[in-house]
Structures are given as structure tokens and as C-alpha cells.
Amino acid sequence: MSLLRKLYRTTKVIAHFSYAAVELAVTQPKTRAARAAWLSHFCGRVLRAMAVSFDVVGPIPMQGAVVSNHLTYVDILLHSAIRPCVFVSKIELRSTPLLGWMSMMSGTVYVARGVGGSAAKAAEGMAKGFRDGLPVVFFPEGTTGVGDEPTLPFRSGLIAQTLEAEVPIVAAFIHYELSLKDVAQGKTLRENVHWGPQSLISHLWSFSGLHALKATIQFAESPIAFSEEAILHRKIAAVEAQAAVVALKAQG
């Protein structure tokens, strides 16, 4: 049954991606808002195909910036399915077959660490998202964790750029819960949901065997109140942003 479930889910997801690729090629949404709306609908369809349900706690940010913990690629689907938004991603995604093209078409802003001019381009891309009235979502950890700690240390670059633009930043925290059937079969969040050292293909294959997954995404009631020191020093701002995200875990 597990093999059949994996094959069925994988086939459904491939079908959704194939349809979405054709849809993008035909419609070619021109504005950032139209692209974000397309991505939101697409992510909702994929979550349903993967038997992922979710609850939202707190007010959903409809503008400004959102910083979130990062455990798996499903995080991106969740943030987008809730409402249209703009993502900031590592430049490596741009070269990923199909996903790179789709992310570009959906309005993703790319950033390359250590490359001259990349920070300025990322800031410009985020500014366009802010001007379009869309929330801009980024994951300051810079990679996915396996859940051993609430979050990995936050990188300061994008946080500092957002503060310089005087844009409010709202904290978000994502938590996943396995079904009782999956727990009884020995499945764990660390091995089957959170994306650690596995390759993308192997993790997708493992993930597709789950009966169901429940996600909860919690948003803070108000933007992060950064200290005066954080406004002046980006490293302090990163620490305070991380603390705000981790605090949501304690509330959940």
C-alpha cells in the first residue's frame, strides 16, 4: 500500500507541475501581483495533492515583510497558499530544471551570497514587492533545518535591508504534525518531513508515502519591535528577529 500511495501521489504532483508549466507558458502573467496570485493557486493545488492540510493562527500579513523558520520545501507552498506573496530565494534555485523557470515566472527575487551587486538587486526586488502591496517572505536561516533546534542562526543581510527600507517585519513559525497512522508506522518529522541531508528526489519519495500531514503556521500579532541597537547593528537585528520567531513556538 505504501508503494501504491507513493506512486499515486507522485503521479498527481507531476501532473500538477506539468499543467502549471503549460498554464504559465500560455498565460505568461505580466505583473508581479498576477504572478503571485498564480503561484498561490498552484501551491494550494499541490498541497491538496500531497494530502497536506493547514491551520493559520494569528493575523495573516498582507503587506510588509515576513520572516519564518524553514524546515522543508513545503514551507514555501504553505506561505504562498495562504495568500499571494513574493519570495526571496537563493540564486541556485534559478538554475533548477523547471522549478527555476517556474519560480522566475512567479516573481521570485533571487540573492547570491558573496556576489557583488546581489544585495542591491535583492533590495530592489523586495522594494518592488513592497510597492505592489504584496508581502515579501524570506527565510533568514538560509537553508532548511531538521528541527533539532527551533531555528538555525539567522543571517542578517535581508533583515538589515528591510529595516533600511523602513518596512515592518512580522515573525512566523511553522510546525508540522504527522497522522496517527504514520506515527504508528515509525515515521518521524525529522526523517520524513524536515529536509536535511537527503537529496530532493529521495526526500520527495519518502514524503509521498505519508498518509497525511497537518501544518500550523502562526503569525505574530504585530511587527517585530526592534531595539535601537538593532536598527544600528544588523547582527543584533538578526538575533532579535530569530528570538521573535522562536517565541511563537513557545506560544503554540
Q: What percent of the chain has pLDDT over 70?
A: 93
Average pLDDT, stretch 35-62? Answer: 93
Helix (H, G, I), strand (E, B) or coil at 111: strand
Q: How far is the C-alpha of 1 from the C-alpha of 160, rounded, in Å? A: 49
Q: How far is the C-alpha of 198 from the C-alpha of 146, rounded, in Å? A: 11
Distances (CA, A) of 6 to 43, 82, 210, 211: 19, 26, 8, 10
pLDDT at 211 over 90: yes
13 vs 252, more confident: 13
What is the signed CA dihedral for 63, 246, 177, 49, rounded to 10 degrees? 30
Q: Check residue 127 and give its pLDDT.
A: 80
Q: How many residues does the chain have?
A: 252
Q: Check residue 97 and give its pLDDT.
A: 63
Q: In angstroms, how far apart are the furthest CA atoms of the chain?
A: 57
100 vs 243, more confident: 243
What pLDDT digit, counting tens, does each position of 105-164 carry? 777 877 766 555 556 677 777 887 788 888 999 999 988 888 889 999 999 988 998 998
9 touches 51 (CB < 8 A): yes
Helix (H, G, I), strand (E, B) or coil at 27: helix
Query: Which CATH number applies to 2-251?
Result: 3.40.1130
